C-alpha cells in the first residue's frame, strides 16, 4: 500500500477518542519516509524491537493460519528451541474460528519463498530505522522468550505499565 494512503489512515485513526491517552503502532513505520511523516503527525516516546531466536520467525510465519471470514490469526507451529517454547495458538475446535465460526485456512502467500522475501525486505527497510531510533534513546530491545502470556508482562513492564 502506498505511504500516502497508510499515513492518511494513521492520521485519521489517532484522532479518535480511544487514542487520546496513547496508542501502539505495530509494523509502522517501516521506512524512513514513513518515519519522517510520523514525526510530523505525533510524538513517539518508545520504540520496541522484538528480537526472536534464530529460525523461530520463519517457523512461526509458516505455521500461521487465518480465519477466512474475520481474519483472526492462529498458529499451528509448536516450536521448541533450546530453552524457548512457543506453543501453538489453536482454536477450540480444529479448523473453526473461535470468534465467528469461519473456516481457518493457510493463505496462499504464507509459503517459505514469500516469507523469506518479506523478511529480506523488512531487514533492508528497517535497518536505517533501527539505526536512527537507537540514537534517540527511545529504542528498546525485547527478547521474545515465549508465548503471549509470557511476553505481555515483559512488554508492559518495559513500557511502564507494571
- Write out pLDDT tens, residues 61-73: 999 999 999 999 9
Domains assigned to the chain = 45-156 (3.40.50.300)
Q: What is the pLDDT of residue 53?
A: 80
Q: What is the pLDDT of residue 162?
A: 67
Q: What is the pLDDT of residue 82?
A: 79
Average pLDDT over residues 37-43: 93
| H-helix or E-strand spanning residue 105 | strand 104-105
* Band (90; pLDDT cuts 50, 70, 90): very high
* pTM of the entire predicted model: 0.76
Encode pLDDT of 141-156 as tens digits: 999 988 888 899 999 9
Q: What is the number of H-type helices and E-type strands within the chain?
A: 5, 7
Average of per-residue pLDDT values in the chain = 91
Encode pLDDT of 97-124 as tens digits: 999 999 999 999 889 999 899 888 888 8
Closest C-alpha to 24, from 34, 37, 10: 10
Q: What is the pLDDT of residue 29?
A: 92
Q: What is the pLDDT of residue 104?
A: 97
Burial of 49: CB neighbours in 10 Å, binned 0-12, 13-18, 19+: middle
Asked if residues 10 and 38 have their Cβ atoms less than 8 Å apart, the reply is yes
Burial of 42: CB neighbours in 10 Å, binned 0-12, 13-18, 19+: middle
Amino acid at each position: 500500500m502506498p505511504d500516502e494512503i497508510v499515513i492518511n489512515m494513521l492520521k485519521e485513526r489517532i484522532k479518535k477518542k480511544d487514542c487520546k491517552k496513547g496508542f501502539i503502532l505495530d509494523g509502522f513505520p517501516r521506512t524512513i519516509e514513513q518515519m519522517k511523516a510520523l514525526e510530523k503527525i505525533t510524538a513517539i516516546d518508545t520504540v520496541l524491537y522484538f528480537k526472536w531466536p534464530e529460525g523461530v520467525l520463519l517457523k512461526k510465519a509458516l505455521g500461521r493460519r487465518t480465519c477466512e471470514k474475520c481474519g483472526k490469526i492462529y498458529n499451528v507451529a509448536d516450536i521448541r528451541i533450546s530453552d524457548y517454547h512457543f506453543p501453538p495458538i489453536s482454536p477450540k475446535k480444529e479448523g473453526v474460528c473461535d470468534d465467528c465460526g469461519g473456516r481457518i485456512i493457510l493463505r496462499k502467500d504464507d509459503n517459505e519463498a514469500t516469507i523469506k522475501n518479506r523478511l529480506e525486505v523488512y531487514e533492508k527497510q528497517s535497518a536505517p530505522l533501527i539505526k536512527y531510533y537507537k540514537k534517540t534513546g527511545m529504542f528498546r530491545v525485547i527478547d521474545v522468550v515465549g508465548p503471549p502470556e509470557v511476553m505481555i508482562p515483559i512488554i508492559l513492564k518495559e513500557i511502564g505499565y507494571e
